[in-house]
Amino acid sequence: MLTIGQTQPINSTKDSSIEGLTPKIYQKTADNVTTVLSSDFVFKECKYQSRLPLHGEIKNFYWIEVEINNETFSSKKQLMKEPVEIKSIEPTDSTTRVVFRDPPNEANFYLVEFVFNPNTADPSVRTEMSNDVLFEGNEEAFIEILEGVHGDYDVRLGQLSANDYLFYTKFNKQVEENQGYEQDSDESGDPSQLFAVPPANLSGNISNLNTNKPILGNFTVLSIDHRQIRLNEQVKAN
């Protein structure tokens, strides 16, 4: 899914999404062969979704380009790494650990996503991010969420680039701070409060090729290992 929009004034209620664009996702192989992976997108619910299946390959680079008002915007090339395999899921009444082997001698950045009750009309999602400073090269590395799990759920362990990790860490912190502000405010839920606290300095990976100026946005490539938990039976699905 791609979300492409234009910033609006803080008190604006106008939809920021831009319709009628033709995004292109590029792929570059280890042999330096560049192709368009997809340029066929449908605009639905304010997002762009590829009509073609997007299957990335390990060690290839990927990036996005889109033309808006005769200006071209492009993300930096993102390497698709080897996925890190989930060794086990260890739930308790209060926490749930995702256990894996952290690749040694390199900096790694992770995003763990839990989807609870994924086959219902109202699934809930919990995410956690971590670098490997505390468990570099550990055979039994783990990331945990402070929540026990019951029933069916999906777990995804993805590797991020260093820039992606920094971007989403700051973004999530910004969201959490503003949600906290809204809970104590008489204007709780008011979208105009998005920047109620000083906004984080978000540095993404997309820039205007005509001016070489960065814009607010980020294109992410994830290598994901996926495990489904169904009625206490673990089913592996890459």
List, in sequence order, every residue forming a beta bridge with 157; answer none if it has no partner.
Answer: 112, 225
- Contact between 161 and 78 (Cβ < 8 Å): yes
DSSP per residue over 79-116, as a string? E-PPPPPEEEEEE-SS-EEEEEPPPTTS--EEEEEEEE
Per DSSP bridges, beta strands 223-230 and 233-236 are: antiparallel
Tally of CB atoms within 10 A around 36 = 11
Q: Position of tokens 């206490």?
A: 232
Q: Position of tokens 């950045």?
A: 109
The token pair at 138 is: 């550990």
Q: Helix %, strand %, coil % for the chain, to 5?
A: 10, 40, 50
Q: What is the pLDDT of residue 119?
A: 82
> How many residues comprise the chain?
238
Q: What is the pLDDT of residues 37-78, one digit of tens each?
A: 999 999 998 899 999 888 889 999 999 999 999 999 999 999
Q: What is the pLDDT of residue 107?
A: 94
Q: What is the pLDDT of residues 85-102, one digit of tens each?
A: 999 998 877 888 999 999
Does pLDDT of 237 surpass 60?
no
The token pair at 17 is: 């999404």
Q: What is the pLDDT of residues 172-223, one digit of tens each?
A: 887 777 665 444 445 444 555 555 555 567 788 999 999 999 998 899 999 8
